[in-house]
């Protein structure tokens, strides 16, 4: 996604992504004699994490203040 934006928009030099890494498991409904065809899930509190990535144009100038004030990237 970041590469596509950089290639399509020369005015954009950098894209940042912040994605929570939450695991979702199929909920076992057999205790009440119900099937679950991969429809009902629960989000576990562990393991968990935060995946962050930056896609930057090769010739982009550094700007240490570009992301100041953007929650999660400062």
Domain extent at residue 32: 2-56
Please state the domain count of the chain: 1
pLDDT tens by residue, the chain, 74 residues: 999 999 999 999 999 998 888 888 888 888 999 988 888 888 887 777 888 899 999 988 888 888 887 776 65
Task: Enter the DSSP assignment of 59.
Answer: T
| 65 lies in some domain | no
| 71 lies in some domain | no
| 12 lies in some domain | yes
Single out the residue of 52, 26, 23 nearest to residue 38, CA to CA.
26
| 22 lies in some domain | yes
The structure's pTM equals 0.56
31/22 Cα distance (integer angstroms): 25
Please check whether residue 50 is in contact with residue 57, taking contact to mean a CB–CB distance below 8 angstroms: no
């Amino acid at each position: 996604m970041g590469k596509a934006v950089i290639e399509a928009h020369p005015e954009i030099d950098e894209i940042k992504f912040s994605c929570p890494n939450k695991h979702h498991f199929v909920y076992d409904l057999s205790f009440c004699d119900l099937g679950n065809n991969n429809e009902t899930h629960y989000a576990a509190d562990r393991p968990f994490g935060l995946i962050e990535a930056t896609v930057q144009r090769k010739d982009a100038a550094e700007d240490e203040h570009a992301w100041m004030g953007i929650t999660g990237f400062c």
